[in-house]
Amino acid sequence: VGRAVTKAVIPAAGLGTRFLPATKAVPKELIPVVDVPSIQYVVQEAVQAGLDDVLIVTGRHKGAIEDHFDRQYELEETLARDPAKAADLDRVRAAELLAQIHYVRQGDPRGLGDAVGRARRHVGDEAFAVLLADDFVDPADPLLPTMLRVHAARGGCVLALAEVAPDDVRLYGCAAVAATDDEGVVRVTGLVEKPSPEEAPSNLVLIGRYVLDPAIFAALEHTPPGRGGEVQLTDAVARLVDAEEAGGPVWGVVYRGRRYDVGDRAGYLRAVVQLACERDDVGPEFRQWLRGFVAEQSVAGG
């Protein structure tokens, strides 16, 4: 049903207030998870799913993101002169060679929906994916390929959902759903951005991966500012839920793999520890240290 998706949009204009003071001068998307900036992981995720045309929506004070994905001649030349630095050079180049990366700026940070709306000219009349750099999905258990398959088979929009504890629903967009004949796929029948416990239709929440029909752009134009006075992507997708409207239906893929909210300090720390443990280079030594540290903490009763 759906045409092949080739474009990914990564909003990166947010202020990163949850990570101050680190984000005072450094874009939050460049805060490293071990030694790779979070935005590089999501660009890798898009590319691995076959989306190598990437649009990053940046804003003021975000120029370092462009530098990160650009050549760095002085550094590269210095590294190239020393054969012992070959692996370092590869790591520097990896970010530059990843994808065809384009940029557009969001002048006023008026919300996620507004940021996605800035992609309209670049995306045109094609379905596209949106990936939020705050949401980290385990690369060993990819989610986007499944969403793209559902889109190809069923058309409309496809949202990534995950079950969270009822107390955490208020931090996310939340979906009302109905079962389909496919166990991992649900039909989204309603959406509420950051609901109070009474308003929450379920404990299935949006986890920052979307495959969207281009009808979302018209929907965004008609979406008034919502929660926090910002134009919410959730509200615009909610307008497509009605099957009669172009752009629908809206499907949900329920993700049961590991994920972290790296825009949250506790989630960030969990991601760093887990990824460090799994790395071939720093992993063995770090795991050994961590076992000792945890044992010490338990003895201390912490």
- Taking the complex as a whole, the smallest distance from the CB of residue 244 to ligand G1P amounts, in Å, to 24
Q: Does 119 bind ligand G1P (CB under 6 A)?
A: no
Cβ-proximal residues to 65 (8 Å cutoff; 6+ apart), any chain: 12, 27, 29, 30, 39, 56, 58
Q: Does 54 bind ligand G1P (CB under 6 A)?
A: no
Largest Cα–Cα separation, the chain: 63
Task: Fill in the per-residue mask, 198 to 227: x = in contact with ligand G1P (CB under 6 A), - = not in contact.
Answer: -------xxxx-------------------
Q: Are 23 and 16 in contact (CB under 8 A)?
A: yes
Q: Give the C-alpha separation, 4 to 26, whole Å.
A: 35
Cβ-proximal residues to 88 (8 Å cutoff; 6+ apart), any chain: 79
Complex with ligand G1P: residue 55 or 115, whichever CB lies closer: 115
Cβ-proximal residues to 279 (8 Å cutoff; 6+ apart), any chain: 34, 286
- Taking the complex as a whole, the smallest distance from the CB of residue 274 to ligand G1P amounts, in Å, to 18
Complex with ligand G1P: residue 156 or 208, whichever CB lies closer: 208
Q: Which of 29, 53, 114, 135 binds ligand G1P (CB under 6 A)?
A: 135
Q: Does 157 bind ligand G1P (CB under 6 A)?
A: no
- Taking the complex as a whole, the smallest distance from the CB of residue 227 to ligand G1P amounts, in Å, to 8
- Taking the complex as a whole, the smallest distance from the CB of residue 113 to ligand G1P amounts, in Å, to 8
The encoded tokens of residue 291 equal 């076992």
Q: Which residues pair with 55 in a beta bridge?
A: 9, 102
Q: Does 38 bind ligand G1P (CB under 6 A)?
A: no
- Taking the complex as a whole, the smallest distance from the CB of residue 229 to ligand G1P amounts, in Å, to 13
Q: Does 162 bind ligand G1P (CB under 6 A)?
A: no
**What sign results for the dihedral spanned by CA atoms 27, 32, 36, 41?**
negative
Q: What share of the chain is helix, strand, coil (3-state, %, to 5)?
A: 40, 25, 35
CA dihedral 267→101→151→149, nearest 10 degrees, is -80
Q: Does 147 bind ligand G1P (CB under 6 A)?
A: no
Q: Which of 29, 53, 114, 134 binds ligand G1P (CB under 6 A)?
A: 134
Q: Which of 173, 195, 226, 248 binds ligand G1P (CB under 6 A)?
A: 173
Return phi, psi of residue 209, to 5°: -135, 130
Q: Does 69 bind ligand G1P (CB under 6 A)?
A: no
Residue nearest ligand G1P by beta-carbon distance: 173
Residues in contact with ligand G1P by the rule CB under 6 A: 112, 132, 134-135, 172-173, 193, 205-208, 232-234
